[in-house]
Amino acid sequence: MSLFGIALDPSTHDLMLSDGMLNMVNDDDLLARNLKTRLQMLKGEWVLDNTYGFEYNVIFSSRILDLQLIETSLKNYILNTDGITKISVFKLDFISKNTRLLSLTVSVQTIFNSNITLGGLTIG
């Protein structure tokens, strides 16, 4: 089984072109992009499907953050990403308690039996 999709610039999230043609990604590169996109998308943010995305507003609406709830919710969300079979590493740290920002580093195993690591994702 092989997967393929359109490549996005990692910093701007714009479509990547070479000589006027769309760049493509496949397999683990596509799964990494999909996971990163899912983790950065707020539920209700995408106009074509307002059920898509993570419910950050629900988790961060409480005055006191429940890190166990956030960790459990994020792990379940990650494991429900197509192509992800297992979480190998999960590290969630406060960047700033004043701004309620968290930093997430996660390493996952894929259906291709390889590992993908995403580090330094800002959540909050």
User: What are the tens digits of pLDDT across the range 24-42?
Assistant: 888 888 899 889 888 888 8
Report d(CA 92, CA 45) in Å as an integer.
23
- Mean pLDDT computed over every residue of the chain: 87
pLDDT-derived band at 45 (thresholds 50, 70, 90) equals confident
Which pair of tokens denotes residue 93? Answer: 């740290």
Break the chain into its structural domains and give their ranges. 28-123
Alpha-carbon span 123 to 70, nearest angstrom: 10
CA distance linking residue 23 with residue 17, whole number of Å = 5
Residue 108 pLDDT grade (very low, low, confident, very high; cuts 50, 70, 90): very high
> Does the domain spanning 28-123 belong to CATH 3.30.43.10?
no
Which residue matches tokens 């070479």? Answer: 18
pLDDT, residue 1, reads 64
Decide: residue 77, CB within 10 A, 0-12 exposed, 13-18 middle, 19+ buried. middle
Q: Per-residue pLDDT averaged across 50-59, rounded? A: 83
- In terms of pLDDT, which residue wins out, 48 or 57? 48
15-21: average pLDDT? 89
- Does residue 98 register a pLDDT over 90? no
Question: For residue 39, what is the DSSP state?
Answer: H
Q: Which residues pair with 118 in a beta bridge?
A: 106
